[in-house]
Amino acid sequence: MKILVPFKSVPDPNDATVVGAAASTPKSVINPFDEIAIEEALRIRERGEAAEIVGITIGAPTVDEQIRAALAMGIDRAIRIDDSRALDPYAVARILRVLIEKEAPHVVIMGKQAVDDDSNQVGQMLAGLLRWPQATFVSKIEFLGNKTRARCTRETDAGLEVIEIKLPAIITTDLRLNEPRYVSLPGLMKARRKSIEVLTCDQLGVTVRPLTTVLSTARPPKRAAGTRVESVEELVTKLRQDAKVL
Amino acid sequence: MAESLVLIEHHRQQVKRPSLHAITLARQLGGEYALLVLGHRLDGIVASLVSYGACAVVVADDPALAKPLADRYATVIAEAARKHDAKIILGTSSTFSKDVLPRAAALLDAPMVTDVVAIEEMDGS
C-alpha cells in the first residue's frame, strides 16, 4: 500500500512571539497534526501494511528543513511544490489533487487542520474534488478486507463515531490518534540520502489563484483585570453603568 | 431563490442551538434565506423550523441520509445551493459542519471560511 502524507510547515505554536503569517522569521515546524499523520503512516508500515510513504508539501525552499525532519522520522521520499504565495485551503486542495492523481496512493493521511490558520478544510475539499470517501478527525485507523476498506474512529461533538470507508480515501488526523516519535540520529543520517523532488504548479499543469485573502492577523485584545466589589448593590451598579449589560 | 442557505444541525428531533445563531446571522446579512435540513423522519424538525422567517425550508428526508455521511450530505448540500442560487452557505463550528461543508464547497468550486466571529462588510460580489 502506498500512503501519501501532505504536510505543512507552520510557525512553531510553542513560540509565543509569533503573530501573523511569516511575520519576521519565526521558527518553523511540521504542523503538529501532520506530524501525527506521518507517525501513523510509519506505524502502518511497521506493522507490514504499507510499502511506501511519500510526503508532500507546498512552499519556498525554506521549508526544506521541515521536509528533512519528515524524512528523518522515516518517510521514504518527499515532493515539494515550489510556491511561496499565500494560498488558501481551496488552492492547496486543487494543487494536492493533481499530485494525488499522479501518485495514485491507496490512502492519503493528513492533519485535520494547520495550527496557523485552523481552517480544517483541505482534507475535505480534496476528498470532494477527487470524489473519494473521507474520514475526518480520526483517532483510530484499521485496514480491512485486504486493505480495500478502512474502519476509522472519529472524534465528534457527540462522542466517538466509527465509520467504514472504501479505499482510496482521505483521512484527516486528530490529536488522540498517536504521539509522534522524536527524530533519531540514525534517522537524520538516513534522511540525507533520501530524495526531495521539487515541482512547480506549471509542471503539474495546475493554475490556482486564492479565492480568499488574509487581510490582517492580530492578537485578541488583552483581557482587562477584574475588580472586586463589596456588595451586590455595587455589582448591579457596575453592571448597569460600566459594563452596560443591564 | 435565497441568498443564504443555512445548514441546520439537529439531534434527537431537536434543532441544535448553534444553528439558531446561524439563522440569526442569515437574517442579519439581509436578503432572503432558506433553511436546509437533511436526515430521515424529519417531520418534527421541519415543523419547528417554519417559524424562523425563512423563505423556504428545504428538506432532504431519506433513509440514506439517516446518518451524516459526508459524501452523501455534501452532494445534497451542493445540489440545494445550486438549485436555490445561494450566494452563501452558513453552518456552525461543529464537527458535523466542518466534516461536510468544505466538501460541499469544493463541489461548488467555492471558498470557505471557518470559525467566523464577525462579518464586517459584504458587497454584491
Is the Cβ–Cβ distance between B32 and B6 less than 8 Å? Answer: no
Q: Collect all residues of chain B within an 8 Å Cβ-Cβ radius of residue A116.
A: none
For the stretch B67-118, pLDDT in tens is 999 999 999 999 999 999 999 999 999 999 999 999 999 999 999 999 998 8
Q: Tell me, what's the pLDDT at B120? A: 83
Q: Tell me, what's the pLDDT at A17? A: 64
For the stretch A149-163, pLDDT in tens is 999 999 999 999 999
Interface touch A158/B102, C-beta < 8 Å:
no
ipTM of the complex: 0.94
Confidence tier at A221 by pLDDT (50, 70, 90): confident
Chain A closest CA to B40's CA: distance in Å? 18
List the end-to-end C-alpha distance of chain A, in Å, as a whole number: 63
Q: Where are the domains of chain A?
A: 2-212
Q: Tell me, what's the pLDDT at A226? A: 84
Q: Collect all residues of chain A within an 8 Å Cβ-Cβ radius of residue B115.
A: 118
pLDDT surpassing 60 at residue A23: no
**d(Cα A58, Cα B24) in Å, to the nearest integer?**
38
For the stretch B1-43, pLDDT in tens is 678 999 999 998 899 999 999 999 999 988 899 999 999 999 9
Q: Collect all residues of chain A within an 8 Å Cβ-Cβ radius of residue B12.
A: none
pTM (2 decimals)? 0.91
For the stretch A97-142, pLDDT in tens is 999 999 999 999 999 999 999 999 999 999 999 999 999 999 999 9
User: Which residue from A183, A230, A162, A235 is spatially nearest to A73, judged by alpha carbons?
Assistant: A183
Q: What's the topology of domain A2-212?
A: Rossmann fold (3.40.50)
Q: Tell me, what's the pLDDT at A243? A: 83
Summary mean pLDDT of chain A? 93
Interface touch A125/B106, C-beta < 8 Å:
yes
**A73 Cβ contact list (under 8 Å, min separation 6):** A35, A38, A39, A42, A180, A181, A183, A187
DSSP letter, residue B3: S
pLDDT surpassing 80 at residue A74: yes
Interface touch B114/A133, C-beta < 8 Å:
no
For the stretch A192-203, pLDDT in tens is 999 999 999 999
Contacts 24+ apart (CB under 8 A), A187-194: A187/A72, A187/A73, A187/A74, A188/A68, A188/A72, A190/A71, A190/A72, A191/A68, A191/A71, A191/A72, A192/A68, A194/A71, A194/A75, A194/A76, A194/A77, A194/A78
Confidence tier at A25 by pLDDT (50, 70, 90): low
pLDDT surpassing 80 at residue A73: yes
Cell 443564504 -> residue = B4
pLDDT surpassing 90 at residue A40: yes
Is the Cβ–Cβ distance between A119 and A89 less than 8 Å? Answer: yes
Q: Tell me, what's the pLDDT at A244? A: 83
- What Å distances lie between residue A36 and A111, A241, B49, CA to CA? 7, 50, 41
Is the Cβ–Cβ distance between A106 and A165 less than 8 Å? Answer: no
In degrees, to the nearest 5, what angle opens at C-alpha B16 toward C-alphas B14 and B20? 115
> What's the full length of chain A, in residues?
246
Strands (E), B17-103: 33-39, 56-61, 88-90
